Amino acid sequence: AAPTPRRGSAEIARLAAALHNVERTAIALAGEQAALRRNSSQSLANLGRRNQNLLRRQLDLITTLEGKELDPDGLAELFELDHLATRMRRNAESLLVLAGEQSPPRTWAGAVTALEVIQSAVSEVEDYRRVQVVEAEPCRIRGHAVADLSHLLAELLENALAFSPPTRPVEVYGWADSGEYCLALVDHGPGMPAADLTRANARLAGVESLHPAPAKLLGHYVVGKLAARLGAQVELHRTEQPAGGSGSGGEQVTGLTAYVALPPALLDRLRPADQPPGPDRLRSLLGGFRAGVARGAAPATLTLPKD
């Protein structure tokens, strides 16, 4: 065979060198991007911790003022301020979750009933009066999982309330099933097209990357990270059920149902009957939130026991 011309060898060498330079540049850029992501996560975590500390102090101060306020109207305004600060605290905790912080900011030493956790989640959403806890079978959640589970449910409730008619409730159900505890959050909104529903479930499962996500979808990523931390499974499904009780002829009402399955590791034990929570325990779980109670406007699920 004829020998390869020198010119061809030189071109191959130059091509190899160029490819090597491209590879080195790509590796360097990847390293820079990774460093930027780490710095971004650290900045989010620092911001979240600062906000969290400020809000903790603010909630403590509001609770002190509530104890001193004797005027019902003034007390009602403090309760609304309490509610707003509680929602702001959840946003600060969401920053920590998105930044990859592993330990929950709030913990409980003992187990907490599922109903208490649901009530805690309801206290952290804006339009809490529309949430109806239809049925929650007795169950106790281990203390280390309470804050994350309450946060997860609050994100799902907020989403359900935002995408359903303002005159319709969001219903919550809880039941034991084969050693797990399941929760269903049912809204009566327009639902989602099949493709959007598939992508939403990918976000909840942690399959879809966070970085290209628009801000309005960040709640799904927060839920996905919390679910992974808890070892829980969260899925959205279309809901079709007869519209009953309104004389509407039985037409189908569509919406979405968010299903949450909690593994046995998060459950303390199932009890045939649980005592209702005492006032101190319930106030602790609600973070001081008692908005609307002074006006008698809060739903039954949020009514505090009398001292």
Per-residue pLDDT tens over the stretch 54-88: 878 888 888 888 888 888 888 888 888 888 888 88
CA-to-CA distance for 42 and 32, rounded, in angstroms?
15
147-156, 258-267, 274-283: segment of lowest average pLDDT: 274-283
Tell me the CB-side half-sphere exposure of residue 116, using CA atoms within 13 A. Answer: 28
CATH architecture of 112-302: 2-Layer Sandwich (3.30)
- How crowded is the C-beta side of 245, counted as CA atoms within 13 Å? 1
CA distance 131 to 273: 23
Residue with tokens 């590879």, as numbered in its chain:
23
Specify the residue for token string 């907020």: 158
Task: Say yes or no to pLDDT of 249 above 50.
Answer: no
User: In the prediction, which pLDDT does 270 show?
Assistant: 55
- Indicate whether 172 pLDDT > 70: yes
Indicate the pairing of strand 180-186 with strand 252-262: antiparallel
User: Is the separation of the CB atoms in 168 and 130 below 8 Å?
Assistant: yes
Region 216-232: mean pLDDT is 89
d(CA 162, CA 182): 23
Number of helices (H) and strands (E) in the chain: give both, helices first.
Answer: 7, 7
Up-side HSE of residue 81: CA atoms within 13 Å toward CB? 16
How far apart are alpha carbons 157 and 302 in whole angstroms? 15
The pLDDT-based confidence of 104 (bands split at 50, 70, 90) is low
Position 43 scores a pLDDT of 73
Residue 162's pLDDT band (boundaries 50, 70, 90)? very high
Residue 251 clears pLDDT 70, i.e. is over it: no
User: Is pLDDT of 115 > 60?
Assistant: yes
The DSSP bridge partners found for residue 171 are 132, 186
- The pLDDT value given to residue 177: 87
Per-residue pLDDT reduced to its tens digit, 173-196: 999 988 899 999 999 988 888 999
Contact 160, 185 (CB under 8 A): yes
Split at pLDDT 50, 70, 90, the class of 169 is: very high
pLDDT at 51 exceeding the cut of 60: yes
- The region of weakest confidence among 72-76, 95-99, 273-277, 283-287 is 283-287
Is the pLDDT score of 278 beyond 90?
A: no
Would you list the domain boundaries of the chain?
A: 7-98, 112-302
Helical segments of 99-127, H only = 114-122
Q: Which position has the higher pLDDT, 177 or 101?
A: 177
List the one residue out of 203, 73, 198, 182 whose CA is nearest residue 137: 182
pTM score above 0.75 = no
Tell me the average pLDDT across 223-249: 77
Q: Any bridge partners for residue 256, and if so which? A: 238
* SS3 of residue 163 by DSSP: coil
Determine the pLDDT at residue 183. Answer: 95
Confidence of residue 37 (pLDDT cuts 50, 70, 90): low
pLDDT of residue 293: 30
